[in-house]
Amino acid sequence: MTAPWEPDEALAAFADLDLDRAARRGYPEAVYCRGKTAEQVGLIAGALRGHGARTLFTRAGPEHTAAILGELPDAFHYAASGLLAWPPDPPDPVGGRVLVVAAGTADQPVAREALLTARHLGRPADLIMDVGVAGLHRLLRRLDVLRTARVIVVVAGMDGALPGVVAGLVAAPVVAVPTSTGYGAAFEGLAPLLTMLNSCAPGVAVVNIDNGYGAGHLAAQIAAPP
Amino acid sequence: MTAPWEPDEALAAFADLDLDRAARRGYPEAVYCRGKTAEQVGLIAGALRGHGARTLFTRAGPEHTAAILGELPDAFHYAASGLLAWPPDPPDPVGGRVLVVAAGTADQPVAREALLTARHLGRPADLIMDVGVAGLHRLLRRLDVLRTARVIVVVAGMDGALPGVVAGLVAAPVVAVPTSTGYGAAFEGLAPLLTMLNSCAPGVAVVNIDNGYGAGHLAAQIAAPP
Amino acid sequence: MTAPWEPDEALAAFADLDLDRAARRGYPEAVYCRGKTAEQVGLIAGALRGHGARTLFTRAGPEHTAAILGELPDAFHYAASGLLAWPPDPPDPVGGRVLVVAAGTADQPVAREALLTARHLGRPADLIMDVGVAGLHRLLRRLDVLRTARVIVVVAGMDGALPGVVAGLVAAPVVAVPTSTGYGAAFEGLAPLLTMLNSCAPGVAVVNIDNGYGAGHLAAQIAAPP
Amino acid sequence: MTAPWEPDEALAAFADLDLDRAARRGYPEAVYCRGKTAEQVGLIAGALRGHGARTLFTRAGPEHTAAILGELPDAFHYAASGLLAWPPDPPDPVGGRVLVVAAGTADQPVAREALLTARHLGRPADLIMDVGVAGLHRLLRRLDVLRTARVIVVVAGMDGALPGVVAGLVAAPVVAVPTSTGYGAAFEGLAPLLTMLNSCAPGVAVVNIDNGYGAGHLAAQIAAPP
Amino acid sequence: MTAPWEPDEALAAFADLDLDRAARRGYPEAVYCRGKTAEQVGLIAGALRGHGARTLFTRAGPEHTAAILGELPDAFHYAASGLLAWPPDPPDPVGGRVLVVAAGTADQPVAREALLTARHLGRPADLIMDVGVAGLHRLLRRLDVLRTARVIVVVAGMDGALPGVVAGLVAAPVVAVPTSTGYGAAFEGLAPLLTMLNSCAPGVAVVNIDNGYGAGHLAAQIAAPP
Amino acid sequence: MTAPWEPDEALAAFADLDLDRAARRGYPEAVYCRGKTAEQVGLIAGALRGHGARTLFTRAGPEHTAAILGELPDAFHYAASGLLAWPPDPPDPVGGRVLVVAAGTADQPVAREALLTARHLGRPADLIMDVGVAGLHRLLRRLDVLRTARVIVVVAGMDGALPGVVAGLVAAPVVAVPTSTGYGAAFEGLAPLLTMLNSCAPGVAVVNIDNGYGAGHLAAQIAAPP
Amino acid sequence: MTAPWEPDEALAAFADLDLDRAARRGYPEAVYCRGKTAEQVGLIAGALRGHGARTLFTRAGPEHTAAILGELPDAFHYAASGLLAWPPDPPDPVGGRVLVVAAGTADQPVAREALLTARHLGRPADLIMDVGVAGLHRLLRRLDVLRTARVIVVVAGMDGALPGVVAGLVAAPVVAVPTSTGYGAAFEGLAPLLTMLNSCAPGVAVVNIDNGYGAGHLAAQIAAPP
Amino acid sequence: MTAPWEPDEALAAFADLDLDRAARRGYPEAVYCRGKTAEQVGLIAGALRGHGARTLFTRAGPEHTAAILGELPDAFHYAASGLLAWPPDPPDPVGGRVLVVAAGTADQPVAREALLTARHLGRPADLIMDVGVAGLHRLLRRLDVLRTARVIVVVAGMDGALPGVVAGLVAAPVVAVPTSTGYGAAFEGLAPLLTMLNSCAPGVAVVNIDNGYGAGHLAAQIAAPP
């Protein structure tokens, strides 16, 4: 508890790191950077390094990134998604295969955030891109690969129709991620979000708009080894 | 113009029939019954009979229907859609083929409203039902038929994904009709409406929720003979 | 394809049963009754009986139920959810444990729809009720049981806060089901739906409002045996 | 399928060009640039040039445009709409006449995107601007021209009333395009979108907000030669 | 102020009649019945009779109506709008002319509520019905009458386009009333409400959905004698 | 945890009564009846009687009420709000004064639910009705009484303007309750809810639409004795 | 009608000036600048100068302003509202008095746009600012002035409560203008818009969010001399 | 009242300072800076200094801040919230304890705005941060501190679940503040706003999105000394 007029900028004053989350939940902490100051993110990065705690940083802007790399210079950085991972190499993969499928090229940053999250959490994971429903033959051509997955993350904006179509073709559960790609009436991702929630085919679960991290995490849990 | 305290219930006091619409636009008048009293609809039916004017009555409830059949006893009546057509037989079909495709059995009343409207306006028209995207093979099996149409009306609720998938397979324009079928987050047809407006495949135009009449009319215009 | 003025009421005219879905996807067909006529549902029930195909009927009203029981008199019926299952006994359970957790007593019809669906699809499944976040001790007391599950379905209306709290306590993935329970600003389930999509804890996937069937199906897929 | 930590920037890793779309659907591919990187758009442009495939690029920002013109220096470019066409000259027009009608001067970028798309796809197409319903005489004066069209694309923001008024005057189908022009309660195009969906006159179909490309494409399909 | 467990049902316990409103604002009180019990409305009617206060009762259901007529047996009653006026005859009209214009027959109850309110408040008032924009000639034929009004109330559902079109033709101010008439995406009057707020032609002011009373009151104020 | 096909209807199977809530939070349990079966509510009522636990039942329909009165025949019942209290008499009041202020007569059921809840929880509480902002003099006349309260609950539908006006006149905090009273664009209470959240005067806190219980509870907490 | 690939930038190609609007409607044209290019606005300004037509330019950004002042160097310019008037001096005022009332200082740009529009159209007009409902005494102190007006324009953001309060105090009609001022749940003006539409006091008409021009125009029409 | 073409920039022309608010309501004025010009804010600051009136300035941008500090150079300034307080030191605290609890680090600016407001108004106030529901142990560890508060302000974005969980643990009233932190479907704070309004635990009142000032003010009123 901090009380003075001027905010206390020590780590304990603004953050209560959940370092035993890995023990309690089986998955390490992640740090959502948006809304935090670069100084705060840097202090968190330093503390995590001190504990040797495997961590993802999500939605990191350029200033956040500089602060993190100042503390963890060897962290892996994928700028298009604002993602950093430390240590830079993922663990050896265990469990079922995670397949990430993206409808369009513009969905790449979200799809790759899901892909990298699943690998960071220890799953074997692969990516297929540009298989939207406007050209079904592109999807049907990959049916064999789709059926090898333990779980499929499907990323789509605009009409958001791909997850329902994929779910109708496979036995694996589908984690659907709406993206904010599209014209006006996509309403920043609301349209594909609703489409996915109303999927005719059972077996589709939905996460937040553009939330590749959440989808990758959930997929890692679904594909966890027994 | 009518002015007394008590409403004047003569036809001229509440309706200004657009009897030359057939001449001006090439398509006859239709009467939207919801919100009118049975008496008003009956007076309109009588006036139309007097002019021998081909007419559809849409969204007719039981009292409307009774009033219409009182004036036009030989009218064709399809109760599930609240549709009546007079004279009962459609004209000999001319122009291109209209194909109506419905995703699920629950979409039948809207799909059939489109089908009957297109026939009433003089087009050859057919219906395919229960080809939703949860089982793509059902649609793909009909690819040959789909490609014979001059225009395809696609009716779907829930995720509303079918029109975009169909549009990606054919050269003909697709008229998409969202229906109010589905669970909570379909929000009475809002979800499929947005899906259809955001279709990845070009070639999809959208009409109002459950508006089979509007879709059938538009399709008849698109498939009109030169 | 059917073309006459009067609709053809034979099964083939309105439905294209996906009888090989069990082969293709590994899970049997379900019939969503709302929007279908009782006659249509009865014809479908008869056809399924003819194929001996394991089936769920969801959202069945009284007339649907009578038509189904006319064809499948031994079907199991749980009226509060409008659910019927045939054959009446679930298969021997295989795979991981599905745990269904409901925030309040009013969520029972949806929770039990998820429970029964998971069992019908062959999983061991149990139910815990009335553990909403207004009295956290009720949830914390069940921590040991929560941690035995392969997947947890969490059903909640009003603030929809329970799935995120549960996800923060366990390693298993959480399937969240918003319900339409609550006062005005719950907007028929929109409020808990948004809450669940915005869960602070990763590991939460969301299905449609009141969609216990979808949640149970997804849970069965997640907990499938290798 | 691509798997490494660092994304593979070769074309095959992020895009699966639908080069036989012209054969399958009768209309060539278009590339939606927003959300793609300039590098990706440049690679696509190069590949299309290699195949000699007629293409539109839509929603191209300055960096996209530079990358495209680097590969296709003779492409036609209309900056106000972010549109590029290659080859620069449209094919000789065939089929019915497409008429694009815009309510206000501010709707010009969307209207011209529709116009250019229709020409690029091979239709004769013309444009009438500034005929909004606040001064009906401007529209009524063009009635003769309106009645020569096989299909009319009507572009309007604010109240979005023009498409319904036009549809009431002609036999041709109307493709309505809402624009994001207007004061606060236009809600970025939501108001004219709803107006158009609720048009009193039958014969209006609606595409996405500001989607001139989609409207022009649909109009080209409707006006296609037999 | 009332305090006991059991509610006090005397008039003073639940209502504070604004009897000097006529003095303060120049217009008499109106009683909105919906949400009040029949007993409460009856007590109010009795008190108003005691004061001889000219009054309108709006949104009166059958039980409200019976209670009012029990106290004021000679009150004028127009059931379609749920409107009662007492004393039954309007005062001699003074001030400018109020013209009420309705787009469709289904808008009659709202239009007539506006008409009767304006007369009850002492204005000369007339009604024109069924002049929606789908057949512009019906409106243009009345241009002379439209231009005689001091203020025009325009009532429309569905696309709500009529007020903007009327405003573009006259010098008088237009009071627009959206109605809840229409198909799904009219969203119970939201669509015409937005259309009217976004009217391209200046000179349109909007009141609540289906609020004929409010429109008639406002028109009476605008057309008040100097 | 209950597991059989047929639901277990014993109390422990569906409810986990929070009987020590009075000890933990200082306020007794309340039972929200909507969504529960009459049987379930009856079982809960019986269990509470066994523990002698002071309880409110909210949103009780006729069947719920019968079940409750079967177990607790002396319970106080206020039908307009669907409220029952047991034991029937409130405790002797302690703490500051709660004043409930309602804008219109139609807000009475919600206002009285707040009043009775505050008394049931042990506060002195009074009610003022029909002081909406359309006639400010009615409110200003009560300024002395308003200033005696420790907390003021303000109940209003339609424009929801009253809480902000009251807050600008007093030192006490205001608890605002939007009601679902009003015409179309009140959208079942959304309009007054937003008004109250945006109050210009500080000192206004908002609860759910029509949630008189929540407002009365919160007021009792604010006015609690030291 | 213009047809070439490159847009024709002559005035006739993009605008159809409504120069006889003053004759037809009694009020001169206004030019809404947003969405037009500076070049287009400059061409329009030049044409209007050629006709000597009194004009307002609204929502003019810096580039629009420079183009207008290049053609009409003596135009009056009020930058905070993006308003220009030409000729710079308003006509001699005739008709009733227009009073513009603003709730807060932040509403000044919109309030002044209404004030200047009313004067430009020939009405005597005055402004009162900072009389929001959080301090009612500020408004009540001006009651005498309020009652001198023929029409009152009330401008308010946040809770939008002021128009209803003013309407309850006067006989004149109130034109309400919601502004986009406020915290998050004001949703860019949606909250005050809904408040105003739901005003308890009759006599309030609403225009679009931030639409000071529309309010001033309407007020000028209401206060027009006989 | 000011009337000339050019706005009068003297203080009296745009603001009517409510200097006796402290006397009338017991709490001093605050100045909401957004939407005011820097000049206006500077004039207000000067006038307040002249009266020696304790004041908060909220939502001050850099230009506002410079203008305020020009007049009140010793004002306290907390930039992250855009807050300035004058005089810089809060009064000696009286009344009950206010506890501000924030779910995440990103909620700090809003939480601290509440904290500083409560202190400025004379209450003892403390802050606890980063105790979101994803790691319940962090909250449960502070149960003793939570139970010492007279009122708790709970600040949370994303799922907004924390206020309901806190309310279920304590006797004190909870003031909930939704923040605009989060992914797409948080819709700028709409999601946590709805969650908080639907809290299962009674005792939660809600203020506007990001409105730390309003929450701190309300808390100061609730915790006021007798």
Give C140's contacts in chain A (Cβ within 8 Å).
none
What pLDDT shows up at residue D2? 36
pLDDT at E24 over 80: no
- Range(s) for CATH 3.40.50.1970 in chain A? 98-222
Whether residue D116 contacts residue D216, with contact meaning beta carbons closer than 8 Å, is answered with yes
What pLDDT shows up at residue B8? 60
What pLDDT shows up at residue G109? 95
Strands C76-78 and B83-86: unpaired
What mean pLDDT value characterizes chain E?
A: 91
Contact H1 G126 (CB under 8 A): yes
CA distances from E155 to A130, E111, E161, E204, E223 (A): 49, 6, 10, 12, 18
- Min Cα separation G218/chain D (Å): 15
Alpha carbon distance D87, D49 (integer Å): 9
Q: G98-222 domain in CATH 3.90.1150.10?
A: no
Whether residue G188 contacts residue G86, with contact meaning beta carbons closer than 8 Å, is answered with no
Report the share of chain A in percent with pLDDT over 90. Answer: 80
Instruction: Assess whether the previous peptide bond of A4 is cis (omega < 30° from 0).
Output: no
Using CB atoms, which residue from F159, F168, F186 is nearest to G135? F168
Alpha carbon distance A165, A149 (integer Å): 16
User: What is the per-residue pLDDT across A55-111, written as a single tens digit (0 to 9) for each?
Assistant: 999 999 999 999 999 999 999 999 999 999 999 999 999 999 999 999 999 999 999
Alpha carbon distance F196, G161 (integer Å): 10
Give A161's contacts in chain B (Cβ within 8 Å).
133, 159, 161, 164-165, 195, 200
Whether residue A42 contacts residue A31, with contact meaning beta carbons closer than 8 Å, is answered with no
Using CB atoms, which residue from B21, B40, B210 is nearest to E184? B210
The band of E13, judged by pLDDT with boundaries at 50, 70 and 90, is confident
pLDDT at G10 over 90: no
Give H157's contacts in chain A (Cβ within 8 Å).
35
Whether residue A58 contacts residue A31, with contact meaning beta carbons closer than 8 Å, is answered with yes
Task: List the single residue in B with minimal CA-CA distance to C40.
Answer: B105
Contact H191 C194 (CB under 8 A): yes
Helix orientation angle between E38-51 and E62-71, rounded to the nearest 10 degrees: 30
Is G6 exposed, middle or buried (CB count within 10 Å of its CB: 0-12, 13-18, 19+)? exposed
Task: List the single residue in B with minimal CA-CA distance to A204.
Answer: B134
Interface of H with F (CB under 8 A): 24-27, 30, 151, 168-173, 175, 193, 197-198, 202-208, 213-214, 217-218, 221-222, 224, 226
What pLDDT shows up at residue B65? 98
**What does the pLDDT average to over G24-49?**
90
User: What is the per-residue pLDDT across B190-203, written as a single tens digit (0 to 9) for each?
Assistant: 999 999 999 999 99
Contact B180 E183 (CB under 8 A): no
Alpha carbon distance B222, B121 (integer Å): 12
Alpha carbon distance C76, D112 (integer Å): 61
* Residues contacting residue H121 through CB under 8 Å, at least 6 positions apart: H27, H28, H216, H217, H220
What pLDDT shows up at residue A142? 94
Using CB atoms, which residue from A171, A202, A221 is nearest to C173? A221
User: What is the per-residue pLDDT across G102-157, written as a single tens digit (0 to 9) for each?
Assistant: 999 999 999 999 999 999 999 999 999 999 998 898 999 999 999 999 999 999 99
What pLDDT shows up at residue A7? 58
**What does the pLDDT average to over F174-188?**
93
Contact H218 F173 (CB under 8 A): yes
* Residues contacting residue A139 through CB under 8 Å, at least 6 positions apart: A131, A133, A146, A162, A165, A166
- Backbone φ, ψ for residue B154 (5° rounding): -115, 125
Contact F222 H175 (CB under 8 A): no
**What does the pLDDT average to over D11-19?**
73
Whether residue C74 contacts residue C104, with contact meaning beta carbons closer than 8 Å, is answered with no
Give A199's contacts in chain B (Cβ within 8 Å).
134, 158-159
What pLDDT shows up at residue G154? 98
Alpha carbon distance B130, B135 (integer Å): 9
Alpha carbon distance F201, G134 (integer Å): 5
pLDDT at B70 over 80: yes
Q: Where are the alpha helices (DSSP H) in chain F?
A: 11-14, 21-25, 38-51, 62-71, 108-120, 136-140, 143-146, 162-167, 190-197, 212-222
**What does the pLDDT average to over D52-72?**
95
Contact D191 E198 (CB under 8 A): yes
Give C128's contacts in chain F (Cβ within 8 Å).
1
What pLDDT shows up at residue D28? 86
What mean pLDDT value characterizes chain B?
A: 91
- The DSSP bridge partners found for residue A55 are A86
- Backbone φ, ψ for residue A45 (5° rounding): -60, -40
Task: List the single residue in B with minimal CA-CA distance to A162.
Answer: B161
Residue D2 DSSP label: B
Alpha carbon distance A190, A208 (integer Å): 10
Whether residue F164 contacts residue F130, with contact meaning beta carbons closer than 8 Å, is answered with no
Residues of chain C with pLDDT under 70: 1-9, 18-21
What pLDDT shows up at residue F7? 58
What pLDDT shows up at residue H11? 77
What pLDDT shows up at residue C4? 43
pLDDT at G7 over 80: no
Closest of F52, A208, E131 to residue H157, by C-alpha: A208
Contact C195 H194 (CB under 8 A): yes
- The DSSP bridge partners found for residue G86 are G55
Interface of A with H (CB under 8 A): 1-3, 5, 7, 13-16, 18, 21, 32, 34-37, 40, 178, 180, 188-190, 193, 208-211
Taken in order C79, C83, C88, C91, the sign of the CA dihedral is negative
**What does the pLDDT average to over E175-203?**
94
Touching chains F and D? (3+ Cβ pairs < 8 A):
no
pLDDT at E3 over 50: no
Does F24 or F121 have the greater pLDDT score?
A: F121
**What does the pLDDT average to over D95-109?**
96
User: What is the per-residue pLDDT across F113-124, written as a single tens digit (0 to 9) for each?
Assistant: 999 999 999 999
Give C24's contacts in chain A (Cβ within 8 Å).
169
What pLDDT shows up at residue B14? 76
Chain position carrying tokens 């989607």: D211
- Min Cα separation G64/chain H (Å): 21
pLDDT at F3 over 60: no
Q: Is the pTM of this model over 0.80?
A: yes
The band of H8, judged by pLDDT with boundaries at 50, 70 and 90, is low
Does E52 or H98 have the greater pLDDT score?
A: H98
Count of alpha carbons within 13 Å of D208, Cβ hemisphere only? 24
Alpha carbon distance E176, E173 (integer Å): 10
Using CB atoms, which residue from B78, B119, B135 is nearest to C18? B135
**What does the pLDDT average to over B107-130?**
96
Using CB atoms, which residue from B15, B37, B208 is nearest to E130? B15
What pLDDT shows up at residue D8? 61
Whether residue A182 contacts residue A209, with contact meaning beta carbons closer than 8 Å, is answered with no
Alpha-carbon D159 to chain mean position: 21
What pLDDT shows up at residue D3? 39
DSSP annotation string for chain A: -B-SSSPP-SHHHH----TTHHHHHSS--EEE-TTS-HHHHHHHHHHHHHHT--EEEES--HHHHHHHHHH-TT-EEEGGGTEEEESSSPPPP-SSPEEEEESSGGGHHHHHHHHHHHHHTT--EEEEE---GGGHHHHHTTHHHHTT-SEEEEEE-TT--HHHHHHTT-SS-EEEEE-S-SSGGGGGGHHHHHHHHT-SSS-EEE--TT-HHHHHHHHHHHT---
CB atoms within 10 A of CB D217: 27
What pLDDT shows up at residue A1? 36
Closest of E152, E153, E99 to residue E124, by C-alpha: E99
How many H helices and E strands in chain E?
10, 9
Interface of E with D (CB under 8 A): 103-104, 132-136, 140, 158-161, 164-165, 167-169, 182-183, 185-187, 190-192, 194-201
CA distances from H89 to E122, G3, H120 (A): 62, 70, 8
User: What is the per-residue pLDDT across B18-54, written as a single tens digit (0 to 9) for each?
Assistant: 666 676 778 888 999 999 999 999 999 999 888 888 9
Give G204's contacts in chain E (Cβ within 8 Å).
207, 214, 218
